[in-house]
């Protein structure tokens, strides 16, 4: 707790308090339990009182990057909860997370970070630290509904077209050949999915605007 007392909310820099939390979660095993549900409004209102507490977090992975030295081996993920609120999650160790992964895991609160959006407004985001060991391998899956549902349909559709073309070739009735342009369909899907900027503040700004547009 002495090392956490040096943490300053607001700046995006990682300090000695962050190093203390990284060391702590490095000792975790898969049995760690969080008894506190994350209340973002309460955390943002009084981050000092929440500092270092293990919270139960739930949300969907939106974007992730790997930190540069001296924080090698740590991933930075932006997570969106059910209400559409964003928070930052630092994962110690290789997590194999993917965009669209649904998560429910314990994490220690680090601090709030202030970032400027494209609208020039500053917003505060809660930041947490956890270990990759608490992310079950079977729970890591991509929730891209377009690709997950469309690809099997393309395969089935192609097989049906193949059968129809074989049957049609044996009939005396004229038939027209149907083709499925897989790449064109996937390109259309990717237009809906889109890409987020690599810069952390820009990515948060885009995700915040997306969440505002849904409301």
8, pLDDT greater than 50: yes
H or E element at residue 43: helix 40-45
pTM greater than the 0.75 cutoff? no
Strands (E), 81-155: 86-92, 102-116, 122-131
Proportion of the chain in helix, strand, coil states, percent, rounded to 5: 40, 25, 35
What pLDDT was estimated at residue 143? 45
Q: Is 41 helix (H, G, I), strand (E, B) or coil?
A: helix
Chain position carrying tokens 């074989």: 166
66 vs 96: CA distance, rounded Å: 11
Q: What is the pLDDT of residues 98-150, one digit of tens each?
A: 999 999 999 999 999 998 766 788 889 999 999 999 987 545 444 444 444 55
Q: What is the pLDDT of residues 180-210, one digit of tens each?
A: 444 454 454 444 444 555 565 566 656 656 6
């Amino acid at each position: 707790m002495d090392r956490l007392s040096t943490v300053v909310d607001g700046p995006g820099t990682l300090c000695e308090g962050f190093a203390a939390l990284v060391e702590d979660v490095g000792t975790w095993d898969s049995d760690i339990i969080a008894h506190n549900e994350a209340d973002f409004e309460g955390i943002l209102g009084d981050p000092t009182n929440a500092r270092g507490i293990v919270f139960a977090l739930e949300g969907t992975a939106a974007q992730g990057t790997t930190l540069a030295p001296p924080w090698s081996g740590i991933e930075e993920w932006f997570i969106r909860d059910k209400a559409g609120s964003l928070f930052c999650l630092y994962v110690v160790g290789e997590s194999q997370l993917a965009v669209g992964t649904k998560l429910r895991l314990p994490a220690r609160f680090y601090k709030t970070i202030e970032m400027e959006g494209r609208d020039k407004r500053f917003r505060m985001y809660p930041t947490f630290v956890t270990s990759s060991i608490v992310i079950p391998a079977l729970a890591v899956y991509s929730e891209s509904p377009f690709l997950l549902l469309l690809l099997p349909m393309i395969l089935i559709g192609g097989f049906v077209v193949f059968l129809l073309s074989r049957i049609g070739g044996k009939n005396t009735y004229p038939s027209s050949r149907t083709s499925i342009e897989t790449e064109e369909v996937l390109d259309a899907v990717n237009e809906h999915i889109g890409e987020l900027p690599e810069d952390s503040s820009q990515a948060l700004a885009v995700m915040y605007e997306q969440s505002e547009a849904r409301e």
